Structures are given as structure tokens and as C-alpha cells.
């Protein structure tokens, strides 16, 4: 089983919908191609920014098939597969076997679950699919279920060939540093915002998986290569504009303007499009 040798800037790709709220595979493919052309090292499809938890298992499978059938290299894809249902997680992870790896949320409906319960959940998937290449997904402010450092250490020790890294979207860089210092060098740490990109790289991290790569990929990729404070300030300025807005509708508003296709504004409920006042805050 090859190592998940990913680093750099990954985009958690936004999912386009048509006016019947159905995923639009052709526009999804077009956007994925554009992001790779802009320098993204890989595409983290079906993450938070992708509205993945508003997609059915079957919809995710069809979209993945469409990308693979139309020339998106599997080694450039990192599908999100973590679901509340263990069987859905196993099914999606098996479906993504050709890809570079998977990005896996912990089961996130039940709150206050024990570390042992989370360990068993991840362990069951890996025991069923021992060739899985898993990037853990820590986003406690959304999932309300985090992945503590002690659990990461335990999982890596139990499944060293399968547990490959983490996306830390917790927004606390002290936690990211704790992970980096606790884990071996073959454990890849990505931050969930380009705000921490340069700091992560300087600490030995692998890069970032960031929502705003959907609209600012070239600049973030440049900052990855430059690793300078000046480049970091430039991407921080863009990020700061979007964090003032509902992120997913804000990104889709920008794509609607850039492409001239108003359907990019469509989000699935319970999300809603930006108000007129919010649209005025979008960077030119």
C-alpha cells in the first residue's frame, strides 16, 4: 500500500446544484479541473464546504464516479467519507479505494461520547478495509465531537499503515502544534484554514485544506511555496473578507459572479443564499 504522499494546498470543493437542488456533475467536474489547473495538489471533495452532509451516499458515489470517469486522477482526490452511520462510512471508504485516501469525520450525532467509542468507530472501518488510507478530520466547532491528541496517538499506534494524517480545522493552532509534536514524521498535518498555513509549514506540517481555495487557490499555492510573512498577509486579507459571511454561500456567490452562472448561488437547505447586504461584502 503506497504512502499518501500529499502536501500543499487542497480545496474542499464546493458542490454545485441545479434549480431542482440536484447535484450538477458537469459543473462539478469543470470546477475540479479548474482548481487543479490553479495549482491545488489535491481535491478534498465531500467535506464541510462541499455540503457533504446534505448529500446522500448515492449522490456522493455518482459524483465521484463522474470525476474518475472523466479524467480526474484518483491520486488527486481525497473524498470525505465520515458519516454518523458506520455502514455508510465503510461503504464510502470502500468506494474511494482508488483515491489518494479519505478524509474521515468521527461519528458526530451523539455528543459526549467516550474516546473508547471513537476509537472503536475508526477501528471498525479500518478492520473492514485494512488498505484504507485515512486522514482524520477534526472540526469540533461544527461536529461537536473532536479528536483528542491521545486518540490520534492511539489510532496511529494501532493502525500505523492506515492512519496517515489529520485535517485540523479546530482553529486552535496550539492544538495543531501538540499534534505535530506528538506524532511521527510520516503523519501529515494539514490546517483547515490558510490563516495558519505558514505557521504550520514552519512547524513541519504538510499544508492546508481550506475553503477559500475555491476562489483564491493561486495565491494560497504561491504562499505555500514562498513561506513568507508577506505572502501570508496577502491571503489573510482575502480570508478575512469571507469569514464575515456564511462561508459556503459566500464562495458560491463569488463563483456565480466569475462564471456568469447564477446557478452557482444555489445551496441546499437548511443553507440559504446571501442577502443583498451580504453580497455587497464580497471582495471585488
CATH of the domain at 137: 3.20.20.70
Which of 221, 218, 210 minimizes the C-alpha distance to 243? Answer: 210
Residue 223 lies in a domain: yes
Q: Mean per-residue pLDDT for 144-171?
A: 98
Taking the C-alpha atoms of residue 231 and residue 141, their distance in angstroms, rounded to an integer, is 28
Band (pLDDT 50/70/90 cuts) for residue 61 is very high
Residue 234 lies in a domain: yes
pLDDT at 3: 40
Q: Which residue among the candidates 89, 137, 177, 242 is catalytic per the annotation?
A: 137
pTM: 0.96
Sign of CA dihedral 54, 58, 60, 66: negative
Domain membership of residue 261 as a residue range: 8-279
Q: Which residue among the candidates 15, 48, 81, 176 is catalytic per the annotation?
A: 48
Q: Mean per-residue pLDDT for 77-90?
A: 98
Residue 284 lies in a domain: no
For 111, other C-beta atoms within 10 Å of its C-beta total 8
Q: Mean per-residue pLDDT for 258-270?
A: 98
- 207-209 and 8-11 strand pairing: parallel
Report CA 179 to chain centroid distance, whole Å: 18
pLDDT at 1 over 50: no
pLDDT at 190 over 70: yes
Percent of the chain topping pLDDT 90: 97
Residue 1 lies in a domain: no
Residue 2 lies in a domain: no
Judge whether 242 counts as a catalytic residue.
no
Taking the C-alpha atoms of residue 54 and residue 268, their distance in angstroms, rounded to an integer, is 7
pLDDT at 4: 57
Three-class DSSP category at 225: helix
Q: Average pLDDT, whole number, for the chain?
A: 96
Q: Mean per-residue pLDDT for 118-137?
A: 98
Angle CA(8)–CA(41)–CA(63) in degrees, nearest 5? 135
Residue 206 lies in a domain: yes
CA of 108: how far to CAs of 12, 140, 149, 236, in Å? 19, 9, 18, 30
Q: Report the number of distinct structural domains present in the chain.
A: 1
pLDDT at 283: 85
Q: Which residue among the candidates 49, 156, 167, 254 is catalytic per the annotation?
A: 167
Contacts 24+ apart (CB under 8 A), 174-182: 175/138, 175/149, 176/200, 176/203, 176/205, 177/203, 178/149, 179/149, 179/152, 180/204, 180/205, 182/149, 182/152, 182/153
Residue 3 lies in a domain: no
Judge whether 137 counts as a catalytic residue.
yes
Angle CA(36)–CA(193)–CA(9) in degrees, nearest 5? 25
Taking the C-alpha atoms of residue 14 and residue 50, their distance in angstroms, rounded to an integer, is 4
Judge whether 109 counts as a catalytic residue.
yes
pLDDT at 181: 97
Residue 102 lies in a domain: yes
Percent of the chain topping pLDDT 70: 98
Amino acid at each position: 500500500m503506497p504512502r499518501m504522499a500529499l502536501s500543499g494546498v487542497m480545496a474542499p470543493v464546493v458542490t454545485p446544484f441545479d434549480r431542482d437542488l440536484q447535484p450538477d456533475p458537469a459543473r462539478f467536474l469543470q470546477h475540479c479541473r479548474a482548481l487543479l489547473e490553479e495549482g491545488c495538489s489535491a481535491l478534498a471533495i465531500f467535506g464541510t464546504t462541499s455540503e457533504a452532509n446534505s448529500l446522500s451516499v448515492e449522490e456522493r458515489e455518482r459524483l465521484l464516479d463522474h470525476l474518475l470517469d472523466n479524467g480526474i486522477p484518483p491520486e488527486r482526490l481525497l473524498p470525505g467519507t465520515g458519516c454518523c452511520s458506520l455502514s455508510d462510512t465503510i461503504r464510502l471508504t470502500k468506494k474511494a479505494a482508488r483515491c489518494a485516501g479519505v478524509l474521515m469525520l468521527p461519528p458526530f450525532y451523539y455528543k459526549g461520547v467516550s474516546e473508547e467509542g471513537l476509537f472503536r468507530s475508526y477501528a471498525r472501518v479500518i478492520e473492514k478495509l485494512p488498505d484504507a488510507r485515512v486522514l482524520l478530520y477534526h472540526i469540533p466547532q461544527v461536529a461537536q465531537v473532536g479528536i483528542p491528541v491521545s486518540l490520534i496517538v492511539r489510532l496511529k499506534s494501532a493502525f500505523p499503515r492506515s492512519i496517515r494524517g489529520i485535517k485540523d480545522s479546530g482553529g486552535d493552532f496550539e492544538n495543531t502544534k501538540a499534534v505535530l509534536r506528538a506524532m511521527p514524521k510520516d503523519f501529515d498535518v494539514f490546517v483547515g484554514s490558510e490563516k495558519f498555513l505558514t505557521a504550520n509549514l514552519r512547524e513541519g506540517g504538510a499544508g492546508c485544506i481550506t475553503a477559500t481555495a475555491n476562489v483564491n487557490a493561486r495565491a494560497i499555492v504561491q504562499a505555500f511555496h514562498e513561506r513568507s510573512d508577506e505572502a501570508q498577509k496577502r491571503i489573510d486579507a482575502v480570508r478575512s473578507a469571507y469569514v464575515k459571511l456564511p462561508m459556503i454561500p459566500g464562495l458560491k456567490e463569488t463563483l456565480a459572479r466569475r462564471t456568469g452562472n447564477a446557478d452557482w448561488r444555489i445551496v441546499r437547505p437548511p443553507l440559504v443564499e446571501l442577502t443583498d447586504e451580504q453580497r455587497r461584502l464580497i471582495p471585488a
